[in-house]
Structure 1
Amino acid sequence: MISLHSLAHLRDLPATTWDALVPDAQPFLRHAFLTAMEDSGSVATDTGWAAEHLVLERDGEVRAVLPAYRKWHSFGEYVFDHGWADACERAGIAYYPKLLGAVPFSPVSGPRLLAADPSDGLLLLQAIPEYLGKGGLSGAHINFTDTALDEALAGLPGWMERLGCQFHWRNRGYRDYQDFLDTLSSRKRKQMRKEREQVAGQGIDFAWYRGDELSEAQWDFVYLCYANTYAVRRRAPYLTREFFSLIAERMPEAIRVVIARQQGREVAMALSLIGGDSLYGRYWGCLDEFDRLHFETCFYQGMDFAIGEGLQRFDAGAQGEHKLIRGFEPVITRSWHYLLHPGLRRAVEDFLLQERAGVRAYAEEARQMLPYRQD
């Protein structure tokens, strides 16, 4: 017998059951990470993120899951549909609540549908339209998908593909950072070397830590830096202080934090996660203004670390053309959208057709601006 139901709290499903479906290289999908979001209050009904994880069971055994949330707004998603919501409001169409399949506040591509067998995953996907209608949801949105899910959704009626563009750095077997610099044009090589020298000239040095090597006082500092990036924009941070302590307790081996100090005083930090052959830069913050410190803390330190650890890819987060001139290459990302209202679906489909062409053209133009030598 096959059944589909939802979970309002991921902790109601044993970590061993959930994690048995999660690829080893995906720290963001682990039970520890997602429950830390919920248990810390970062993800909750009063923040507009109500957990509604979809679970498909066959004869009482969990066979497929989709981490998902009932949303009453579109913040913290990094795939922007505010324009769609505004158009619905003007037309008197209810856009919220909607169902979002995603990792909260994390624009990282990877598996979203987790299944013991592809056929079980397909059954879950096929059940979503009926689930939306029964649940009073306007549609489903699955963000930052992997190739397997792209192929599955492309074969199902009603799902619409949306493209985006990020910038990732590739480690092509570099011996050290200088080896990487040697692949750049002379002008860019000098610029990046000068930026690092400017930071060092301000008396700033760096130290790296695993999640379990930081004291609670240092985690207070990490959170203060993180929250300050929102405070300068007069916004409240998405994550609570407790979230950082929970991931440090539950998955310390996946966490790396680099802290910048000036004459012994901690002034900035960047927090990353490790999964498989990749380094994922997630959160950064600084308590004072320092020339070029952002580039050093968020990019150059991560490149150095990836080379030293033999990691092949450095995903430093969403957006940022300033990454391009530092060797981060354009990468196409994908999300998929299913809308119940036929008029809205037709309008969005027309929009996405044009947008996809624009994103592909942008990525190709960006590739021409990479700083690597043309031998």
Structure 2
Amino acid sequence: MPELRLHRRLDEIPAATWDALNRSGHPFTAHAFLAGLETHGCLDPEYGWTPLHASLWEGDALLAAAPAYAKGNSHGEFVFDHAWANAYAQYGLDYYPKWLIGVPYSPVTGPRLLAVEPTHKRLLLEAMRAAAPDLGLHSVHANFLDAADLDAFDASWLAREDVQFHWTRDPSWRAFDDFLGALDHKRRKNLKADRRRVAEAGVYLRVLDGKAARGEPMAAMHRFYVQTFAEKWNHAAMTEPFFQHLCEALPDAVVLILAEREGEAIAGALCLRSDDTLYGRYWGAMADVPGLHFEACYHQGIEYCIEHGLDRFEPGAQGEHKLARGFLPTSTHSRHWLAEPRFQQALTRWCAAEREATRRYRDSLAAHSPFRSP
């Protein structure tokens, strides 16, 4: 019978063993990324993140695993359940702590149940649900699931959907100008104007991989990132040692877009990539240049994808303004199980209504595509 094991640190599982199950070498579920968060001070229980990774073993063979965390709040998840927590409180029940399958601070679609055999994913989920009450955890959640994991969740899990804006490469596009030519006149004109303003401001952008980004370029990127969070009175969870660690441990996954003026770095956008997708994650700037955010965070990423043959670009959560720049509304998926049966039953209807509203919203946005009609 397979055995469920729980891990307070990911380095309790050998990196090679974990990564052997990580589909397509996805950067956000790579052992180096997740363990690096722990090693380099990015996860603070005060902000709700206590590692409690789950793995399923048969002897010395790892059958399935999930990056998972005991959460004392819903900070940094990007799937919002504060209304659920408030409803629990009104009835004198504890919503927290909960058990989250996900990647901290990363609203990125990808593998969450790491396994070769689909049956092992289902066994892992069953084992986690059975263990949760004994651990004092009142629910189990899985956020930003990719299509390969959805079938592992049966109808007893609450299904939620949300909308992000993703870019998809047309195989006929060989250069950025081909993408521009596919946009309608208004969007193409506005995008070109943004790029022109950046160039006229004397800003030059260059793209660095992990090897070229280590050291001062990545240190500058971290300063920009911290500045952005400080301006919003928010907590900058990622540390500079973690950013530098990415350059060392995942050099081929790092894509740093650095904006410079008169030889000085003034802004940056840090992305990670897989074999077929670019993921935009962190942005920051020390100077206010019109159009620079769009250029660094969106246009440069699109150009990179076309030049390197990547099929998709996920620039992050939310943002209807992305639609005008070629990013189309795309559904994201999460699944939820609550130990309290009365709330599980009541929220089944609530989630169905939310999914319907989300789909109407997605379809209404899709009707305003920035691309020219065929």
User: Is TM-score (shorter-chain normalized) higher than 0.5?
Assistant: yes
Q: For residue 215 of structure 1, report the CA deviation from its aligned partner.
A: 4.2
Is the counterpart of residue 262 in structure 1 residue 266 in structure 2? no
Please show how residues 1-375 of structure 1 align to structure 2 within 5 Å: 1-153=1-153, 155=154, 157-173=155-171, 174-375=173-374
The 8 Å contact of residues 228 and 287 in structure 1, kept in 2 or not, is answered as: yes
Identity of aligned residues (%): 39
Aligned residues: 373
Alpha-carbon distance between aligned partners in 2 of 1:133 and 1:144, rounded to the nearest angstrom: 24
Alpha-carbon distance in structure 1 between the residues aligned to 2:249 and 2:25: 16
Query: Per-residue CA shift, 1:265-290, capped at 9, x if unaligned?
Result: 21100011110111111111111211
Q: CA deviation at 1:341?
A: 1.0
Q: Is the 8 A contact 1:168 1:331 kept in 2?
A: yes
Q: Which runs of 5+ in 1 are unaligned?
A: none
Q: Distance in 2 between matches of 1:196 and 1:265?
A: 19
Whole-Å separation in 2 of the counterparts to 1:322 and 1:66: 34
Structure-2-length-normalised TM-score = 0.97
| Alignment partners' CA distance in 1, 2:76 and 2:235 | 12
| Cα shift readout 1:313-335 (whole Å, capped 9, x = no counterpart) | 11111111000111101111100
Q: Letter of the aligned partner of 1:55 in structure 2?
A: S
Q: CA deviation at 1:258?
A: 0.8
Is the 8 Å Cα contact of residues 44 and 51 (structure 1) preserved in structure 2? Answer: no
Q: Is the 8 A contact 1:25 1:277 kept in 2?
A: no
By how many angstroms is 1:5 displaced? 1.5
Residue deviations 1:248-301 (CA, integer Å, cap 9, x gap): 111111101010011222110001111011111111111121111110110001
How many Å separate the matches in 2 of 1:249 and 1:46? 28
Where does structure 2 lack aligned partners over 5 or more consecutive residues? Answer: none
Distance in 2 of aligned mates of 1:122 and 1:4:
12
2:313 partner letter: F
CA distance in 2, matches of 1:152, 1:10: 23
SS at match of 1:304: helix
Query: 1:222 corresponds to which letter in structure 2?
Result: M
Instruction: Quote the Cα distance in structure 1 between the aligned partners of 2:216 and 2:196.
Output: 30
SS at match of 2:182: coil
Partner of 1:161, secondary structure, is: strand
Q: 1:124 deviation in Å? A: 1.0
CA contact (8 A) 2:100 2:142 kept: yes
Q: Give the RMSD, CA atoms, in angstroms.
A: 1.2
Q: TM-score, normalised by structure 1?
A: 0.97
Report the residue type matching 2:124 in the other structure: L
- Runs of 4+ with >3 A deviation: none
Distance in 2 (alpha carbons) for counterparts of 1:347 and 1:198: 52
> What does the per-residue CA deviation read over 1:108-162, in whole Å, with 9 as the maximum and x for residues that have no partner?
1111111132222221111222111111101000001122321120x2x521100
CA distance in 1, matches of 2:60, 2:194: 58
